[in-house]
Structure 1
Amino acid sequence: MEHKRKIGGERLRNRDDVLNEDRISELPDDLLLRILSSLPTETVIATSVLSKRWRSLWKMVPKLKFNSEDHKSDHQRFSEIVYRSSLSHKAPVLESLHLVVRDKTEALDVGIWIGIAFAHHLRELVVDLHNQEEAYAIFPSVLFSCDDNTLDSLELKTSILLEFPSRVCLKSLRKLHLDYVVFNDQESVCNLFSACPSLEDLFVERKSNIDVEIFTIAVPSVQRLTIVDEFPGNGDEGYVINAPSLKYLNIKGLEWVESCLIENAPELVEAKIIDVTYVNNENILVSLAGVKRLSLHSLPFEVKYPTGIVFYQLVFLELLTPKERNILSLMLDSCPKLQILKLINPTDCFATRRACPVGWEWSQPKCVPECLLYHLETFVWTKYAWQRDDEKEVAAYILKNARRLKKGTISTLAIESNKLERLEKRYEMLNVLANEVRGSVSCHVLFEADSYSYKSGYYVPHKFSFTLGTTEKE
């Protein structure tokens, strides 16, 4: 009995030793630094009290993150922490510095903190200066005047005024993200973009006409460009894009913007145009004639459709627009090599009922488009309005004339399962469409008609699909 007690006690001590064992400290420095890099810098500094080994380890962490919101009642202490931490840093290369500053008095010190970081060969800089007073802080342009800066990625957010009276140097910069910053003038825009000969990824989110009326993006090296401008303009402003290396373009907004001129983008492969509704010039579509993939999510679609335009390279087309508009008919006629067609109905019921402009109603092409006869292989219609005759007319036309179609998927919005009459009517309407004449004998068309119910306060979806006149539940 005594022997068993000794064995039991020894096992208990061994278990406690395992639980109390500091296994994290046994990890190699490289792994520990990687772990610490994901934490706020103040938390990293706090590890210095753990043991002798941890005392200076935090100084080698290659990423620094500071947020003044953690010091709402003591702004002076926040400034001291950032300043001392930056000076104490020992890593040969500072991979990133993230600064979130919410007090306009602290914003005055941002230039000093960034200057110290540049001395450590900073690669990524993120600065967010949003404050409740909405007062703009002038970003110290002198920081970008040095030829030896190693900045690879720059992200500037809100309440920042950019003033570049002369050219600066950002020769290593590959990624630039400008989020609601304000330029002092057009010259500042030009001087910044011309200072980035290696820039590949540019993201610009702004408020129309808040700083410069014609926002010119002339960057020969940029390959990926995103413009977001969802604030209504007054009709005088616009965008000019000159990007000979551009491959991917994403534009969202531009409400009541006078123009969006794409002067030079011969390498453009993929474009996504969202909510660009009232641009008055045709250039925005003409400049996209060479793309291979195009998504048009504009409602209502008021952009002028150019006469005689042909999308010779287009193989993928996605449209978000009420199907009674003739944009679909025009696009089918203009895309001779189209292989994939995706139609998406808007979830906004009001938008689908909005009166369409004269001349944009769906009209069947006089001749079957070349893409339907020889190339279209995939047809997808999401949120298909099964109760509308004009929707059925469009779907039936595509299914009847797409001779090379291999796969089709038509899905509707879910209906509550207790509305039996509506569910039966939907099935009846979809089954009629399923039995329409097909242009392709090998085509498999899947109809997805989901429903849902509420049980104990939870949303319970029910998958339901069928092909032709048969049904198959999942």
Structure 2
Amino acid sequence: MLPKLEFHSYDHKSGPGAFSKNVSKALLSHKAPVLQSLHLKIYLLGWCTTSDTETLIGVVLARKLRKLVLQVLWEPIRISNGLYNCETLETLELKYHVLLDVPSSVCLKSLTTLHLHYVNFKDNDSLLNLLSGCPNLENLDVRQNSVSSTKPFTIAVPSLQRLTIYASGRVDTDAGYVINAPCLKFLKIEGTDQVFGYFLIENVPELEEAMISVSSHLVNDNLLGSLTSVKRLNLESSPSQIKFPTGSIFYQLVYLELLTHNEECWNLLTLMLDGSPNLQVLKIFSHRYWNNDAVGKWNQPENVPECLLFHLETFFWKGYDWRQEALFEVVRYILSNTNCLKIATFSSKQLRSEERVEMVKDLNSVARASNSCQLLVE
């Protein structure tokens, strides 16, 4: 009658097929009307074969399963087609050496959450076929290592609300992602250098929150231009050349986190302030110690941005290096031009007591536009 079961093939070493037999026996004796969750950890080292796994999946499908987590290591296995037509499955997590050769006919009408972690796709159509058979999918988490592909992966899911994409390693220049998700509310994209050939967001009019941490060539006019509906934006990059979307205004943006790495990030900060007239919260995260070449020069906007004049209430800087004059100029500009600022917080955890006194002295020397602004040093 247990609602949740977990089996690990490493614990069944009495001989080939023992794992499949033991798990099948346990599942056949299961008497609860619904199996809430089944987690299978399979190490294919001669003790559990692909055919054994297919047998297990067949037994599982008869148990009215709600959640399946399948984790396979060492040798890839192909998922049996029966899994793609499980009407009761609500959550599916496939991890590592799972081969997805998805047929064109898929019916997972109850599936709302899908995690694909470092699985192998036979081709790009396998992902498209899988997603097209999930009419009620709301949460999708895709993680990939190096990819070789002749065309992008397309994520076209009308019901999708949360999407996370993570990639590491290298891919061919033709590989990438195309997103068409009209109901998407949350988007997270994370990747190391050279992991995407390109990234195209076609249709996300309902997007409210985005977290973007990618290499420089992705922070371009297409990516930022497709995010103009967001209310909260977390942006991390090391751009060598910012291509800001000309004429785009982030009217809905009220919360911005910017993770800085080099001098070009100040150009992005200037552009984001100018293009976010209703911004209320600004947070900057940077390295604790800068070298002079990395800091660069702050080129303040020609005109004071509207958000500073009328809306910005919270300013936070973690890793603020008070000894760098260029960084102090950024702080001076924001404090002296933000009329509605209520609190400004500066975090430098490794300061000695005498350094902290000096930093507070420098910050207090800045004339603040807001008389009610509270200055905090952590």
Matches within 5 A, 1:236-315: 236-253=174-191, 255-256=193-194, 257-279=196-218, 281-300=220-239, 302=241, 304-315=243-254
Letter in 1 for 2:31: K
> Structure 1 residues 152, 190: closer, same or farther in 2, change over 3 A?
same
Alignment match, 1:86: 27
Contact 1:182–1:210, Cα closer than 8 Å, also in 2:
no
> Structure 1 residues 437, 281: closer, same or farther in 2, change over 3 A?
closer
Contact 2:344–2:373, Cα closer than 8 Å, also in 1:
yes
1:336 pairs with one of 277, 281, 286: 277
CA distance in 1, matches of 2:171, 2:240: 17
> Structure 1 residues 305, 324: closer, same or farther in 2, change over 3 A?
same
CA distance in 2, matches of 1:303, 1:137: 43
Task: Structure 2: state its 5+ residue gaps.
Answer: none
> Structure 1 residues 428, 305: closer, same or farther in 2, change over 3 A?
same
CA distance in 2, matches of 1:385, 1:339: 24
> Structure 1 residues 254, 262: closer, same or farther in 2, change over 3 A?
farther
Letter in 2 for 1:436: V
Contact 2:219–2:237, Cα closer than 8 Å, also in 1:
no
CA distance in 1, matches of 2:297, 2:49: 54
The Cα of 1:76 is off from its aligned counterpart by: 3.8
> Structure 1 residues 72, 279: closer, same or farther in 2, change over 3 A?
farther
Contact 1:259–1:280, Cα closer than 8 Å, also in 2:
no
Q: Establish whether residue 400 from structure 1 lines up as the match of residue 336 from structure 2.
A: yes
CA distance in 2, matches of 1:62, 1:99: 15
> Structure 1 residues 392, 356: closer, same or farther in 2, change over 3 A?
closer
CA distance in 1, matches of 2:342, 2:121: 51
> Structure 1 residues 276, 246: closer, same or farther in 2, change over 3 A?
farther
Alignment match, 1:414: 350
1:139 pairs with one of 79, 83, 93: 79
Contact 1:342–1:380, Cα closer than 8 Å, also in 2:
yes
- The TM-score, its normalising length taken from structure 1, stands at 0.74
The Cα of 1:405 is off from its aligned counterpart by: 0.4
Q: Deviations over 1:44-103 (max 9, x none)?
A: xxxxxxxxxxxxxxxx11211101122356554322211111111111111111000011
More deviation in 221-230 or 136-145? Answer: 136-145
Structure (1 or 2) with the greater strand fraction: 2
The Cα of 1:322 is off from its aligned counterpart by: 3.7
CA distance in 2, matches of 1:86, 1:354: 64
CA distance in 2, matches of 1:171, 1:356: 52
Contact 1:169–1:195, Cα closer than 8 Å, also in 2:
yes
1:443 pairs with one of 370, 373, 377: 373
Alignment match, 1:103: 44
Matches within 5 A, 1:37-76: 60-72=1-13, 74-76=15-17
Alignment match, 1:22: none
Q: Establish whether residue 112 from structure 1 lines up as the match of residue 55 from structure 2.
A: yes
2:255 pairs with one of 300, 316, 329: 316
Q: Establish whether residue 378 from structure 1 lines up as the match of residue 318 from structure 2.
A: no
Task: Structure 1: state its 5+ residue gaps.
Answer: 1-59, 418-422, 449-474
The Cα of 1:394 is off from its aligned counterpart by: 0.3
Corresponding residue SS for 1:341: strand
Contact 2:79–2:100, Cα closer than 8 Å, also in 1:
yes
Corresponding residue SS for 2:43: coil
The Cα of 1:426 is off from its aligned counterpart by: 4.5
* Superposition CA RMSD, Å: 2.1
Contact 2:220–2:245, Cα closer than 8 Å, also in 1:
no
CA distance in 1, matches of 2:242, 2:193: 11
> Structure 1 residues 353, 212: closer, same or farther in 2, change over 3 A?
farther
The Cα of 1:162 is off from its aligned counterpart by: 0.2
1:180 pairs with one of 118, 122, 137: 118
CA distance in 2, matches of 1:209, 1:355: 35
- The TM-score, its normalising length taken from structure 2, stands at 0.93
The Cα of 1:258 is off from its aligned counterpart by: 2.6
Larger CA Rg, structure 1 vs 2: 1
Alignment match, 1:163: 101
> Structure 1 residues 403, 169: closer, same or farther in 2, change over 3 A?
same
CA distance in 2, matches of 1:323, 1:387: 16
CA distance in 1, matches of 2:101, 2:302: 56
Structure (1 or 2) with the greater helix fraction: 1
Letter in 2 for 1:291: V
Alignment match, 1:151: 89
Of structures 1 and 2, the one with the larger relative CO (CA 8 A, separation 6+) is 2
Letter in 2 for 1:145: N
CA distance in 2, matches of 1:301, 1:277: 7
Q: Deviations over 1:448-467 (max 9, x none)?
A: 2xxxxxxxxxxxxxxxxxxx
